[in-house]
Amino acid sequence: MALNSIVEAIGGTPSVWLDRLVAHHGVKGRILAKLDYLNPGFSKKDRAALGIISDAEADGSLKPGQVVVELTSGNMGTGLAIVCGVRGYPFVAVMSRGNSQERARMMSALGAEVILVDQAPGSVPGQVSGDDLALVEQAAQDITQARGAFRADQFHHEGNAKAHFVTTGPELWADSNFSLTAFVDFAGSGGTYAGTVRALKDLNPDLRGYLLEPDGAAALAGEEISQPGHPIQGGGYAMPGLDFLSGVPVDGFLTVTGDRAKTTARDLARREGIFGGYSAGANVAAALELLAGPEAGGTIGVVICDSGLKYLSTDLWS
């Protein structure tokens, strides 16, 4: 089937059972991985980008030809570069220098203007903290005002979570043959978790949702922040509240170390042939932990958030 544009290829990604990995770890149950790294921009954020732009076009908040601005760790910016390029909006991506250089290069190749913001004093390259994100947010606000731009605002625009409610959740449920008992997701903006778990709980009220954060930076779980720096890019910013999670049920909180996320991402590549990034490794590590504990014998859904290609300059594959 021929599509009218690449935007129509966003969503509808395949899901794969990780039975080999589950058997290797000796746990009971199944993990279903939604391969969102196969979206055109190689990440789940393509869905949110399309949702935000489509909603803004529909309600008139985005004018024809208007500049679009957004802060990004690279994935949302890539999705917006694709959608804005096809639909005729200039796009400015504002990103911390702590994120991998592949992301900036990909956004630029897709036509985005990429503005890199220096990290906060004491921050480590490859480890983007909440302080780093605050600097990016301020820069994004300044650019939006100066250029009279539309702010895509992935941390607040309802099109983010709505996209996952309408697409990701129902897709996972159908792909599992209506068998999922739990869903776990690494928290970035919170949009994927909020939208997906709401949809899944509508379909199966007994399904349990788990929020995942980095070890030492579990602000959402109410823990003291001891290690705000970690290598799992795209989330875990040690921010105590996320708008999308307000009123959304969370049945449990989990943490994962950067080393465990890295080891599991490598395992995922070698044993399942799935070349995902750090957060994909984190999600699968959490699902394995759940099958070894409270969800033993269950069926857990996860999202492979982005591609390992975006981390070739980091220590993920070294």
pLDDT tens track for 270-311: 999 999 999 999 999 999 999 999 999 999 999 999 999 999
Residue 234 confidence (pLDDT): 82
Residue 133 confidence (pLDDT): 87
pLDDT digits (tens, 9 = 90+) for 242-276: 899 999 999 999 999 999 999 999 999 999 999 99
Residues 300 and 268 occupy one common structural domain: yes
Length of the chain: 318
Residue 126 confidence (pLDDT): 80
Burial class (CB in 10 A: 0-12, 13-18, 19+), 189: buried
Residues 211 and 273 occupy one common structural domain: yes
Return the CATH number at 138: 3.40.50.1100
CA dist., res. 95 & res. 136, Å (int): 6
Are 184 and 200 in contact, with CB atoms under 8 Å apart?
A: no
Residue 128 confidence (pLDDT): 83
CA dist., res. 70 & res. 189, Å (int): 13
Q: Which residues are catalytic?
A: 45, 279
Instruction: Annotate 273-309 with b (16+ C-beta within 10 A) or e (fewer).
Output: ebbbbbbbbbbbbbbbbbbeeebeebbbbbbbbbbbe
Is residue 69's pLDDT more than 90? yes
Q: Look at residue 316 and tell me if it is in a domain.
A: no
Residues 206 and 243 occupy one common structural domain: yes
Distances (CA, A) of 130 to 39, 137, 234, 304: 27, 10, 11, 23
Instruction: Annotate 253-267 with b (16+ C-beta within 10 A) or e (fewer).
Output: ebbbbbebbbebbeb
Residues 288 and 245 occupy one common structural domain: yes
Residue 240 confidence (pLDDT): 78
Instruction: Give DSSP secondary structure letters for 148-188.
Output: TPEE--TTT-THHHHHIIIIIHHHHHHHTTS---EEEEE-S
Residues 16 and 104 occupy one common structural domain: no
Number of C-beta neighbours around residue 33 at 10 A: 27
Number of compact structural domains in the chain: 2
Q: Look at residue 317 and tell me if it is in a domain.
A: no
Query: What residue has token string 């990780």?
Result: 18
Residues 128 and 82 occupy one common structural domain: yes
Residues 200 and 250 occupy one common structural domain: yes
Residue 272 confidence (pLDDT): 98
Residues 102 and 127 occupy one common structural domain: yes
Q: Look at residue 70 and tell me if it is in a domain.
A: yes
Is residue 32's pLDDT more than 90? yes
Q: Look at residue 140 and tell me if it is in a domain.
A: yes
Q: Look at residue 318 and tell me if it is in a domain.
A: no
Residues 98 and 170 occupy one common structural domain: no
Residues 130 and 170 occupy one common structural domain: no
Is residue 238's pLDDT more than 80? no
User: Which pLDDT band holds residue 80 (cuts at 50, 70, 90)?
Assistant: very high
Residues 210 and 289 occupy one common structural domain: yes
Provide the residue range defining the domain that includes 108.
45-151
